[in-house]
Structure formats: structure tokens, C-alpha cells
């Protein structure tokens, strides 16, 4: 190593950055030996610029035994942030990029001797290739508060590594005040610094139209953002930073601003070339407008900005468990994100913040960024952890993945042959080394180098017809180098469909497609609207629908080959009878259907499915059967075992005869449930059934009246005169009978389960009102001793 470049000149790099306050304590901690640390400092404090070279200096100074000094790796969530951080540090240090400082992102690598910036995915693949990470003295994970899936996973893997290596330090850097959670996971010491923020003038300027429509971000709202930005920069000499959720929105706002007469308008997002990104990130004396995705929320510093215009929107991958698909969804950002965006206006002086939403909207934003692991597709993660040799529960993760999403990821990996059981296969090992999602990597290996162009498009942010898009030549060349030679020619639809067979769709209506997964999705791109079949590469999800963002045409033959065609008998209930159809289908796409007669096994399966959804409500209960069911429910509720729970009992055990009858063609309305319920009665305990829930109650008149248990308690409806002399309500299973006392004409007079209180009080009012209306019936002053009767006075 050249001694002339062996040390960073910290005084040259730092110009009174706020994080300098923590350097003495951090130096002391690092000099004492490797350890884990959490750095909490808001955006703009200089942590990404100053701490990596400072840590490199301290570790290199303490490691005097090894002439080859260990490298410091710094990860940032986005490629644009990685490139920008490496270039900025090299410029401040005065060393050419590629000497002391380098960076590694997908498709682009410049090696540095001291500090290497990279995305989390690149470092994860290095770890999988060599889990001990030799030659690396420390890893700094930046922007951990963003809770991106790769960063969370990397944090867990490196926490394990820090427990195995006594010469390794792990440092997590967060821009928000949630440091304790990271420190507890890592067993780390916390260092903090505050950022001096100049006063901010925050105003709310909601658009007259909604921010989001059925197709995503409303264009009228984007025009409103452009107008607000135009007005703000016209009144000021300062530069503006505009936050919108994606590339399409950036293009709309940039074009609108240019039409309003602004020349110095620059987009900023990950799909730009490094040179195009530099146009937005390089300091300038001229007033500029930078229209950016949330990449500059905390990962990047855009110099010269004193005006922030915020859409309040963000876009992130979300898995829809019900539809079995993952797509990008646009939604309101977190309040913590809105705060960080606003803070970008106050780094260099008093700033202005224009929020293009209402204060009430802001109050309904989520407080913090949701961890991506809770909603993203986990296929890549599951493959990486299989290669790592562990399960999520055994890895120190901030949050565990949802069980359903984890199972879905394993199902995909089994389908493509990457896993057998929980063990990774040779194909899985190969896929884990390729810088593509496992589904795309599978297609690359299947179709070879001819697939490189299409997969380069799909692995980015595709829009419209995949076949017509032109990806970066460098990315295509890289994928061709990784791919085997092509053997059989393949179309773009085959290449996309092989990666996502569940997203192959058949046109069912004007602009609507039914996907093999069962999801209905709408197509917006007019170039593809006449395609009868599509291989979908990307989907946007709104709250109520799925929108096809990118796709390729595919022939029906190729579509059916990739999805696979099944033929089966599907039995179901129609008009209270089991019927069936012979269905030929590709996934959820029905190709043909003809009536057929189900065999008993198929019919029994249909009945079981109906029972799982409708329960006993599937059957008709006669009055006699319903009465027995209600009595059984009452006794079970109050005496439990051995009395069965009618609703929870396995219907295949006590309804076997009835199910068999249905399986052989009987109609539901012909099934008598009374014998089935009798089979549920527990013997010999059933001999006491009438004691616990009698069918009838004999009242003082000598008449018996049927008890009703449908409300969950015993109820009897009886004429008031039949109950004279009855002081207490009888009790069954400890529950008093509720009396619905009726007039001589059978109309309700009173409801009570405390007859003593009724006779002593409310009866007198009932007597006063009723004896004139029913003079032929007895209304004695003393109901306690009067004879009970169902007759009139003359017949008593």
C-alpha cells in the first residue's frame, strides 16, 4: 500500500460538521477494541461523509500488525446514494475515485483501498460467498431507519458475524430517534449528534383534486405541485427540492416546470446515469429545481436547497396475500419522512416548506416508516437465508416476516427448483449468486444470453411494452456475461412469463385481464390493448384494483406451456344440490367447462368445502330439529362437557350419513337434521337432558307450554292468568326462565324472570289497564292466592 494515501485528512474533509461532536468518544471506543455501535444523527449532520474515513483511520491506526489494512464497507439503500457518497468523499479527500474510496453497485464497480460504498444486496452476496468477510474490519450500515428489507437482513447477518469475529466492528447509522431498538438487537453502544436546523416556514397547500386516483397519482395534482414550485422559486433566489413518488411523476413535473419557463430543472432518481445524477447533486451558484424521488429524503444531500415542495407520497413494494402477488403501491409517506423532507430546506439557512396536502391529511399519515419485511415479496430473502443456513426465527432480526409471506416465498422457490424441503439445491446456490431476483435469474438460465435485454428492462422499473424499451447497454452486457449460451429462440413474452407464470393473463374484457393467479388487472398501455394474452412484468396496486404497469405479448401456446394446463371435475352446490363441471384451466384462467356428474368422492369434497364456509347454516333445520339444536347449545354453554358444541363438532363425524346422502344426489331440503342431532347426544348423560333443558314447562294452570332456547336462555310465552300463585321463575342449568306474560288475546303485557317482583309492583299497573279491556277474565287484587286459569270468570 502506498503510504502517501494511507490516511484520510479528517480536517480537510470536515468543515464543522455536527457529527464532529461525537468523534472523541467514538475514537476512544474504537481504540479500545472492535465493538458494535449505533450512530443517531439527523440528515445533513455529515455522518455519511465524515464517519467512514474517521473509522478507517482509527481502525488502521490500531491494527499496526497487518500491513494490508482492513477495509471499511459502507452500505446505503440506493445506488444513486452509494455513487454520490463515494464521489463526494473522494472529492473532499482530494484523492481520485478508485484509490482510497470506491463503490460497488449492480453493474458498476470501482475498488477503493480504504472505504468501499455499496448497496446492501451487493454486500449480502459477498457474505454468502464468504461468510467470514475476510479483509473487512468494519461495516457501516447507513439509513437503517428506512427499514428496507435488504438492510434489515444485512443487519441480522452482520450481528451474527460480530459475535463470531473478535476483530470486527458493526456500526448502524440512523437518522431518527429509534436508536434503542437497534442497539438492543446489536448489543451496541449509542452515540448521538443533533443537526442545527434553521427556522422553517411550513405551509399547507392542498390541491383542489385528490392526490391519488384510480390509476395512481392524479396528473392534475402533479400540475398543482409544479405550480406551487413555480410560485415559490419566482419569489426567491434559492433552489428548490421537490419530492414525488416515482420516475413517471418526476417526468410530468419536470416537463410542466419547463413549460412554465424554468430551464435549470433536474430529475433525480436511480435510473439516471451517474453523469445525469451529478447534474442534480453538484453545487451551483445558479438557482435550480431538483425533482426527486424519496432518495434525497435522507440518503442524499442536495446542496443549495432552501425550498422544499412535498407531495406527501411514497411508493413501495407491497405483497397482496389475498391475491398472491406483489406490486408497487403509492401511498402517503410517514410523518417521520415528511419531517425529514422538510428538514432539507433548513440546512443552509431559513427555509420554506410547501406541503401539497392538508394539515388534516398529515395527521392521518402513519407516524413511522413500516418495515419492508412486513409487506414485501420475500422470495429473494428466503433464498439468501437458505444459502446462509438459517431460518428467520434464528436470525437477530428487528421484525420477523409474516408467516403467510414466508410460506409463499418457499412455495415459489420449490416451484423453480431452488429448494428441496428447507435445503438449498445446486440450482438454488447458482441463483443466489446472480444479481437478479430468483424468478428473473431462473428465466436467464433457462433462455440464456438472448434473455439479457428483456430481463435488464424487467429488473429496473419497466413501463408499457417491455419489448419496446431500451435498457442500459452496460446492464445488458453484464447479464449476457452471466448467462449460458442461448439454445432455442424465445420471445419477450416467454422470458417474462417464465419468471412470473402466475402473472400471465388472458384478456376477458376491454382492457381487463384475468391472471393465472386469479387476480383481475387493468391494462392502461394502449400499445398492448389488442393482445389476447400478456406476460405481466410489473403491477401497480391501488387500494381496490391491480393495474398492469409493464408487460409483453405472449402467444396462447407459450402461455399455457408456462402456466401448465389442468383438467379436473369441480363440484359445488347449486340450488341445494351437488352439481359438477369438467373444467380445463391454466391456473385460475378457465379454458373450457362442460357439465358432468360428480362421483361420490368429488361430491363429498364439495360438501366439505361448503361446510367449511357456511357451517351448519348450509342445512335446513325443521322446527323440531332447530328446537333440539337450541337445547343442545344451551346445555353445552352452561354445563360444557360431556355435552357437545354443536357448532364446533366435526360434521364429518356426526353428519356422515347426511353427507353420504348428498354425495349420492340427495337435495339439501330432503335432509332431516333431527336424527343427526340425536346422534350428538352423549350417552348415558343424555338421560338427564330433560332435567337440564326440558322441552316444556308446566305452569300453575296445569297447562304445559313449550320453552324456547333460541336466544340462549329458556323463554316461555304464557297468558298472565295461568301464572297466578307462581312466586319464583324455575331455573334450568342455573338460569331462570324468562316469562313473556300475555294478555287473554295473546298480546305481550310484561317480560320478567323475577315473578315475585312483578306481582309486587308492575302487576297493579297491568291490572288497572287490562281489567276494563278484558272484563270476562280474572284480574284479582291478590295474584298470590288467586287460582291460576286459562279460562274466563264464568268458566273457571
pLDDT digits (tens, 9 = 90+) for 13-29: 887 788 999 999 999 99
- For residue 706, the number of C-alpha atoms closer than 13 Å in the C-beta half-sphere is 9
The strand pairing partners of 204, in sequence order, are 355
DSSP summary character for residue 526? G
How far apart CA 325 and CA 516 sit, in angstroms, is 11
CA distance 650 to 608: 11
Query: pLDDT grade, residue 2 (50/70/90)?
Result: very low
The three cell numbers locating residue 783 = 295474584
> Grid coordinates in use for 708?
324456547
- Are 455 and 462 a contacting pair, CB within 8 Å? no
Query: What is the band of 227 on the pLDDT scale with cuts at 50, 70, 90?
Result: very high
Residue 144: CB partners within 8 Å, gap ≥ 6?
A: 151, 152, 155, 172, 173, 174, 182
- The cell for 419 is 429448494
Handedness of CA 174, 180, 186, 191 (dihedral sign): positive
pLDDT score for 82? 93
Q: What share of the chain is helix, strand, coil (3-state, %, to 5)?
A: 40, 20, 35
The correct CATH number of 3-192 out of 1.20.140.10, 3.40.50.620, 3.40.50.300, 3.40.50.720 is 3.40.50.300
- Report the largest interatomic distance among the alpha carbons of the chain, rounded to a whole angstrom: 126
Beta bridge mates, 617 = none
Q: What is the pLDDT of residue 575?
A: 64
How is residue 11 written as a grid cell? 480536517
Judged against a pLDDT cut of 80, whether residue 588 lies above it is answered with yes
Task: Give the whole-angstrom CA distance, residue 62 versus residue 55.
Answer: 11
* Cα 121 to Cα 471: distance, rounded to the nearest angstrom: 21
Least confident of 327-336, 373-382, 646-655, 721-730: 646-655
Confidence of residue 527 (pLDDT cuts 50, 70, 90): confident
pLDDT at 659: 78
Cis peptide before 642 (omega within 30 of 0): yes
Of 74, 151, 126, give the one whose Cα is nearest residue 387: 126
Chain-centre distance for alpha carbon 53: 38
CA distance 264 to 239: 10
Tell me if 576 sits within 8 A of 669, measured CB to CB.
yes
Mean pLDDT on 301-310 = 90
Per cent of the chain over pLDDT 70 is 96
Asked whether the predicted pLDDT for residue 324 surpasses 70, the reply is no
- In angstroms, rounded to a whole number, what is the distance separating the alpha carbons of residues 369 and 371? 6
pLDDT tens for each residue of 256-289? 999 999 999 999 987 787 788 888 888 888 999 9
For residues 721 and 793, is the Cβ–Cβ distance under 8 A? no
- Residue 703's contacts (CB-CB under 8 Å, 6 or more residues apart) are 718, 722, 790
Rounded-to-integer distance, Cα 361 and Cα 373, Å: 26
Beta strands per DSSP E along 142-215: 169-174, 189-192, 200-204, 212-213
730 close to 737: Cβ distance less than 8 angstroms: yes
pLDDT at res. 295: 81
pLDDT band at 67 (very low <50, low <70, confident <90, very high): low
Alpha-carbon distance 131 to 157, whole Å? 9
Does pTM top 0.95 for this prediction?
Answer: no
Average pLDDT over all residues of the chain: 90
State the average pLDDT over residues 221-242.
Answer: 96
> Running DSSP on this structure, what letter comes out for residue 495?
H
For residue 432, give the 3-state DSSP assignment: helix
The mean pLDDT of 553-581, rounded to a whole number, is 88
Measured CA to CA, the distance from residue 73 to residue 119 in angstroms comes to 10
CATH T-level fold of 200-369: Rossmann fold (3.40.50)
Per-residue pLDDT, averaged over 63-92, amounts to: 85
Residue 720 and residue 724: Cα distance in Å, rounded?
7
Sign of CA dihedral 50, 56, 59, 62: negative
What residue spans in the chain does CATH classification 3.40.50.300 cover?
Answer: 3-192, 200-369
Give me the mean pLDDT over the 760-789 stretch.
93
Q: Give the number of other CB atoms < 10 A from CB of residue 543.
A: 8
Closest alpha carbon to 84 in 290, 348, 343: 290
**DSSP alpha helix (H) spans, 511-645:** 556-563, 600-614, 623-639
Q: Is 37 helix (H, G, I), strand (E, B) or coil?
A: strand
Cα 601–603–604 angle (5° rounding)? 65
* Interacting residues of 651 by C-beta distance below 8 A, sequence separation 6+: 611, 616, 659
Highest mean pLDDT among 27-36, 62-71, 787-796: 27-36
How many angstroms separate the CA atoms of 630 and 465, rounded? 61
Q: What is the pLDDT of residues 686-744, one digit of tens each?
A: 889 999 999 999 999 999 999 999 999 999 999 999 999 999 999 999 999 999 999 99
Taking the C-alpha atoms of residue 702 and residue 791, their distance in angstroms, rounded to an integer, is 12
Residue 787 has pLDDT above 80, yes or no: yes
Residue 86, φ and ψ in degrees, nearest 5: -65, -45
- Cis preceding linkage at 116, omega within 30: no
Q: Is 60 exposed, middle or buried (0-12, 13-18, 19+ CB in 10 A)?
A: buried
Q: Give Cα separations from 664 to 59, 574, 657, 689 (angstroms).
A: 80, 15, 11, 34
- Indicate the length of the chain as a whole number: 796
Amino acid at each position: 500500500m502506498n503510504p502517501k494515501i494511507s490516511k484520510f485528512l479528517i480536517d480537510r474533509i470536515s468543515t464543522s460538521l455536527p457529527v464532529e461532536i461525537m468523534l472523541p468518544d467514538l475514537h476512544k471506543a474504537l481504540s479500545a477494541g472492535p465493538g458494535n455501535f449505533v450512530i443517531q444523527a439527523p440528515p445533513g449532520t455529515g455522518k455519511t461523509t465524515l464517519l467512514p474515513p474517521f473509522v478507517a483511520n482509527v481502525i488502521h491506526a490500531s491494527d499496526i500488525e497487518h500491513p494490508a489494512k482492513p477495509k471499511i464497507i459502507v452500505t446505503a439503500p440506493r445506488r444513486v446514494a452509494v455513487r454520490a457518497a463515494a464521489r463526494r468523499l473522494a472529492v473532499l479527500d482530494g484523492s481520485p475515485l478508485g484509490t482510497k474510496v470506491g463503490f460497488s453497485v449492480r453493474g458498476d464497480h470501482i475498488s477503493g483501498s480504504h472505504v468501499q460504498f455499496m448497496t446492501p444486496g451487493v454486500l449480502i452476496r459477498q457474505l454468502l460467498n464468504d461468510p467470514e468477510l475476510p479483509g473487512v474490519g468494519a461495516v457501516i450500515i447507513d439509513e437503517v431507519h428506512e427499514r428496507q428489507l435488504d438492510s434489515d437482513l444485512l443487519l441480522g447477518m452482520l450481528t451474527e458475524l460480530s459475535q463470531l469475529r473478535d476483530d470486527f466492528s458493526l456500526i448502524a447509522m440512523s437518522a431518527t430517534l429509534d436508536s434503542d431498538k437497534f442497539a438492543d438487537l446489536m448489543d451496541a453502544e449509542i452515540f448521538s449528534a443533533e443537526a442545527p436546523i434553521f427556522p422553517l416556514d411550513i405551509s399547507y397547500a392542498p390541491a383542489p383534486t385528490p392526490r391519488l386516483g384510480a390509476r395512481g397519482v392524479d396528473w392534475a395534482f402533479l400540475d398543482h405541485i409544479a405550480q406551487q414550485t413555480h410560485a415559490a422559486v419566482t419569489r426567491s433566489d434559492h433552489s428548490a427540492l421537490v419530492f414525488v413518488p416515482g420516475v413517471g411523476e418526476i417526468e410530468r413535473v419536470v416537463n410542466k416546470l419547463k413549460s412554465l419557463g424554468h430551464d435549470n430543472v433536474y430529475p433525480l432518481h436511480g435510473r439516471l446515469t451517474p453523469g445525469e445524477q451529478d447534474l442534480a447533486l453538484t453545487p451551483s451558484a445558479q438557482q435550480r429545481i431538483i425533482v426527486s424521488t424519496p432518495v434525497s429524503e435522507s440518503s442524499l444531500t442536495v446542496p443549495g436547497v432552501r425550498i422544499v415542495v412535498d407531495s406527501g407520497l411514497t411508493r413501495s413494494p407491497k405483497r397482496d396475500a389475498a391475491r398472491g402477488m406483489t406490486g408497487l403501491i403509492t401511498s402517503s409517506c410517514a410523518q417521520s419522512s415528511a419531517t425529514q423532507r422538510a428538514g432539507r430546506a433548513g440546512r443552509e439557512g431559513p427555509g420554506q416548506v410547501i406541503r401539497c396536502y392538508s394539515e388534516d391529511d398529515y395527521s392521518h399519515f402513519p407516524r413511522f416508516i413500516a418495515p419492508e419485511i412486513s409487506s414485501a415479496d420475500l422470495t429473494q430473502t428466503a433464498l439468501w437465508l437458505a444459502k446462509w443456513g438459517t431460518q428467520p426465527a434464528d436470525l437477530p432480526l428487528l421484525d420477523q416476516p409474516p408467516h403467510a409471506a414466508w410460506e409463499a416465498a418457499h412455495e415459489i422457490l420449490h416451484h423453480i427448483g431452488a429448494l428441496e424441503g428447507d435445503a438449498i439445491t445446486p440450482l438454488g446456490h447458482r441463483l443466489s449468486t446472480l444479481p437478479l431476483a430468483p424468478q428473473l435469474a431462473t428465466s436467464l438460465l433457462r433462455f440464456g444470453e438472448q434473455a439479457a435485454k428483456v430481463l435488464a428492462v424487467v429488473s429496473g422499473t419497466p413501463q408499457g411494452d417491455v419489448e419496446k424499451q431500451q435498457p442500459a447497454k452496460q446492464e445488458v452486457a453484464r447479464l449476457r456475461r452471466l448467462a449460458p449460451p442461448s439454445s432455442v429462440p424465445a420471445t419477450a413474452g416467454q422470458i417474462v412469463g417464465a419468471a412470473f407464470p402466475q402473472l400471465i393473463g388472458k384478456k376477458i374484457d376491454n382492457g381487463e385481464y384475468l391472471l393465472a393467479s386469479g387476480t383481475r388487472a387493468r391494462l392502461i398501455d394502449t400499445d398492448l390493448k389488442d393482445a389476447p394474452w400478456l406476460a405481466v412484468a410489473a403491477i401497480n396496486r391501488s387500494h381496490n384494483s391491480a393495474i398492469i404497469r409493464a408487460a409483453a405479448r405472449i402467444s396462447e401456446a407459450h402461455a399455457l406451456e408456462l402456466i401448465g394446463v389442468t383438467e379436473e371435475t369441480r363440484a359445488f352446490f347449486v340450488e341445494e344440490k351437488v352439481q359438477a363441471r369438467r373444467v380445463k384451466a391454466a391456473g385460475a384462467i378457465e379454458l373450457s367447462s362442460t357439465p358432468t356428474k360428480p362421483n361420490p368422492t368429488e361430491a363429498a369434497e364439495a360438501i366439505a368445502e361448503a361446510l367449511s364456509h357456511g357451517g351448519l347454516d348450509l342445512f335446513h333445520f325443521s322446527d323440531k330439529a332447530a328446537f333440539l339444536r337450541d337445547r343442545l347449545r344451551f346445555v353445552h354453554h352452561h354445563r360444557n362437557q360431556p355435552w357437545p358444541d354443536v357448532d364446533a363438532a366435526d360434521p364429518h363425524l356426526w353428519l356422515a350419513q347426511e353427507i353420504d346422502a348428498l354425495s349420492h344426489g340427495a337435495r339439501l331440503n330432503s335432509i332431516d337434521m333431527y336424527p343427526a342431532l340425536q346422534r350428538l347426544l352423549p350417552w348415558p348423560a343424555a338421560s338427564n337432558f330433560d332435567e337440564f333443558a326440558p322441552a316444556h314447562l308446566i305452569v300453575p294452570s296445569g297447562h304445559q307450554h313449550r320453552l324456547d332456547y333460541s336466544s340462549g336462555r329458556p323463554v316461555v310465552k304464557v297468558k298472565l292468568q295461568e301464572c297466578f300463585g307462581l312466586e319464583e321463575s324455575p331455573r334450568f342449568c342455573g338460569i331462570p326462565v324468562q316469562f313473556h306474560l300475555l294478555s287473554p288475546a295473546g298480546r305481550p303485557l310484561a317480560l320478567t324472570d323475577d315473578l315475585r317482583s312483578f306481582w309486587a309492583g308492575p302487576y297493579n299497573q297491568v291490572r288497572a289497564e287490562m281489567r276494563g279491556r278484558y272484563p270476562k277474565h280474572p284480574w284479582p287484587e291478590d295474584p298470590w292466592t288467586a287460582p291460576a286459569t286459562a279460562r274466563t270468570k264464568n268458566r273457571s
